Amino acid sequence: MRMKTAQILMECLLEQGVDTVFGYPGGTILNVYDEFELHGYKDKIRHILTAHEQGASHAADGYARATGKVGVCFATSGPGATNLTTGIATAYYDSSPVVFITCNVSENLIGKDSFQEVDITGISMPITKCNYLVKDPNQLADVIREAFAIARTGRPGPVLVDIAKNVTAAEAEYEPLPLSEHPNHGRLAAMLRRASHELKAPEPDAGDIQTLLDMIEEARRPLVLVGGGVIRSKGAVPQFRKFIETLNAPVASTIMGGGACPGDHPLFTGMIGMHGSHASNHASDQCDLLIALGARFSDRVVSNVKTFAPKAKILHIDIDAAEINKNVRADVSLVGDLKNVLEILSERLPQQSHPEWMAHIMELKEKYPLTYDISGLSCPYVIQELERLTQGKAIITTDVGQHQMWTAQYYKFSKPRTLLTSGGLGTMGYGLGAAIGAKLAKPEKTVINIAGDGCFRMNMNELATASRYNIPVIEVILNNHVLGMVRQWQTLFYDEHYSATTLNDKVDFVKVAEALGCRGIRVTSKEELAPALKEAMECGGPVVLDCQIDSDDKVFPMVPAGAPIENAFDQDDLDGKG
């Protein structure tokens, strides 16, 4: 059938099962937005108008992370498109499947420095799995189908489709195609026929599997390092939990692996790396086999590559071949989908036992518990109260900084896709948009964003989005009136030169919340916290809690950048008590 190309785009979104789009309109994308009214797509696809395109990008990302589905984001050309770039990069570094759809100026204006023209495909090339500039109306349906397949398949990630405005006004033939038939038609079929395509993970080689099994059975002090790849691989978490029970070995997690292993599991040693637990960091120093599952060995995990896991053979399993030997050289590696690999390993691996090793790990956990000053209101106390009141079942989003680390340390995540945070790019201002997306995706869940006051200032305008649609997210601001993590570094490594990190001013976050249509509550003591949290959870609308904490609270343990991770220190060490 013949129809307007903008309508074809909408039909293609319906083919993919898209029910929600986050975006912000503008001149070049008006033909697409007109379809919401012209042919009634507003009744089939919910559009959420955010306060800023960056907020839309994070909301689409949060929607994707909470569900495992592909998130969708719309924006116009020029500054509309460039405002997406931080959100695109955030999704890219954390392997989140989002399709960003922008519309550029008409084809005859491209390359002429036209009003609101920008080469968004060129700009986004390093931070997308793939991107497109669509100039042919007859190619649009094919491109959209391919874009979604690339975003969701293999190692997930963002894809950008830029469409010239004249294309959205043209007509083309459209043939409806069920999602199951997409691999058999058009560009996607041609891609799948190529031997080099990466849409399907390679099947594990029987010889490689046997090598892994032999290494595991020979190990006396194995350690599992779980990363975000276990969360991203659909269906991998049950297989992962079966595997660690069979292996009977300690499990350390990157921040992106939060929720893969329940936080209260006896095998779990906590986060690893710069702000990891002593148990996890010492285990990595003493293990004789480190099994890395879907982890990329970032500098915040490894710190010093030359001293990382010095006694261990490294076994690295990942769906992305580019991650193998990129940061840490593996003794044995396997490229494949973690669900499939772990399923095979669990079936063939006999029950293991490492009593002396596990007893040593339990001693480390008991000797080096996480501690904080309990005399007043603090971020760890807030997070533990949140966990108690939500029974660990909430979806927690975070911004980036001290509060992010405290959240990973103190909230015992029990399920995958319940910790949504910017682990790779470290995007301040990510959390509120992500919380909005997650709550719309999972309305039955309590969704809480934990933010610092510096991060809240980045994207607090998205409170207007939450109030416009009455999205009952809870924004918990850990307000220490400074850029906390930067101040911590200034205190410890820069002779207390607090340059440009003090935020004492006249901004009142409770009044800001109320001005933007939300409930605002200020919390200044431990006694006020539980009633305020209960009120927020029962409110039925968006709520901001302004929790006043000390400016000099610090995240411990801490490893200085580049130091061996077993050399973590805490306040007692600074006070000469360690």
CA dist list (Å): 140 to 12, 110, 127: 9, 18, 22
Of these residues, 42, 115, 218, 347, which one is catalytic? Answer: 115
Give me the half-sphere count of Cα atoms (radius 13 Å) on the Cβ side of residue 118.
Answer: 16
Q: Which amino acid is located at 535 in the chain? A: E
The partner residues of 102 in beta bridges, in order of sequence, read 75, 162
The Cα–Cα gap between 46 and 20 comes to: 5
> How much of the chain is helix, strand and coil, in % rounded to 5?
45, 15, 40
The answer to whether 103 and 76 have CB atoms below 8 angstroms apart is: yes
116 is catalytic: yes
Of these residues, 3, 44, 107, 116, which one is catalytic? Answer: 116
| φ, ψ dihedrals at 127, nearest 5° | -120, 20
The token duo for 280 is 């996890």
The answer to whether 289 and 265 have CB atoms below 8 angstroms apart is: no
The Cα–Cα gap between 252 and 283 comes to: 9
Of these residues, 165, 339, 439, 554, which one is catalytic? Answer: 165
Of these residues, 297, 485, 490, 556, which one is catalytic? Answer: 485
165 is catalytic: yes
In 3-state terms, what secondary structure has residue 329? Answer: coil
Of these residues, 11, 15, 35, 53, which one is catalytic? Answer: 53
Place of tokens 């790779």: 424
The token duo for 104 is 């550029």
The Cα–Cα gap between 574 and 572 comes to: 5
First-last CA distance in the chain: 75
Say how far residue 550 (Cα) sits from the centre of its chain: 28
The answer to whether 270 and 253 have CB atoms below 8 angstroms apart is: yes
Among all residues, which ones are annotated catalytic?
Answer: 53, 115-116, 165, 485
